[in-house]
Amino acid sequence: MKQITVLASGRGSNFQVILDCLARGEINGKCVALITDNKEAYAIERAAAADVPVVVINFTDYPTKTAYEVDLFAAMKETNADLFVCAGYMRLLGSEIIQAFAGKILNIHPALLPAFSGMHGQQQALEYGVKIAGCTVHFVDEGLDSGPIIIQKAVPVFDDDDEQALDERILEQEHIAFPEAVALFCDDRLFVSGRHVILLPEKN
Ligand code: GAR
């Protein structure tokens, strides 16, 4: 059974669906910690309700990102996790962390990558005028939302969509795609070959 540490900065709805799937035995893992960079994150309450230990490394208490990342790296190592899940973690991870945990960090992004990387993927899609938007679960590499793609889910964009309507439609798909990807990782079914993630058959 894989040990999972979640990184989240805010609301934590993706964290919650992963907790729910773990509780129902739909993911072969255990959430061993929530690490947050934001002491106000609602994700903290979700962790407490599920008896998941919380580590707060409050970004704004640090003089520099480097100083913050020293403590973040130490906390991540301390959790001894097999998998790190960025569930609305709103900062780029530094290269030392990414190299140390290569192939073990997943992220959810609210756009169909490689389009609209970075912040506010949904808003970028809306402003660009695309007709199809969606979400992407990918491995984290040293680029911006550029790692190998595991799962993508698409949604239509309607002419009268505002940002909230599109956010909600995408979020619904995030809540399906993310636990699916985490479950596949925990079952050792993701094989990475260069940029390609190959889905291995189920073991019986
Ligand atoms: C989600 O839409 C996620 O895709 C996005 O933040 C939201 C977090 O919601 N992540 C990013 O934009 C990362 N660049 P949640 O806290 O309710 O899971």
Going by alpha carbons, the residue nearest to atom 7 of ligand 1 is 88
What is the residue-level pLDDT of the chain in tens, covering all 204 positions? 999 999 999 999 999 999 999 999 999 999 999 999 999 999 999 999 999 999 999 999 999 999 999 999 999 999 999 999 999 999 999 999 999 999 999 999 999 999 999 999 999 999 999 999 999 999 999 999 999 999 999 999 999 999 999 999 999 999 999 999 999 999 999 999 999 999 999 987
What residues are annotated to the active site?
Answer: 109
**How many angstroms does the Cα of residue 51 sit away from the middle of ligand 1?**
22
**How many angstroms does the Cα of residue 193 sit away from the middle of ligand 1?**
27
Q: Using one digit for the tens of pLDDT, what is the confidence trace for 67-78?
A: 999 999 999 999
Going by alpha carbons, the residue nearest to atom 1 of ligand 1 is 88
Question: Ligand 1 — pocket residues by CB below 6 A?
Answer: 8, 10-14, 87-88, 90, 108-110, 121, 171, 174
**Of 2, 28, 204, which Cα lies nearest the Cα of 103?**
2
CB 17 within 8 A of CB 175: yes
**Is residue 122 classed exposed, middle or buried when 0-12, 13-18 and 19+ CB atoms within 10 A define those classes?**
buried
Atom of ligand 1 nearest to the CA of 43: 16
For strand 132-139 and strand 105-109, is the pairing parallel, antiparallel, or unpaired? Answer: antiparallel
pLDDT of residue 70: 98
Q: Using one digit for the tens of pLDDT, what is the confidence trace for 126-154?
A: 999 999 999 999 999 999 999 999 999 99
Spatial distance between the Cα atoms of 201 and 79, rounded to a whole number of angstroms: 30
Spatial distance between the Cα atoms of 76 and 35, rounded to a whole number of angstroms: 8
All domains of the chain in start order, with CATH: 2-199 (3.40.50.170)
Spatial distance between the Cα atoms of 143 and 164, rounded to a whole number of angstroms: 28
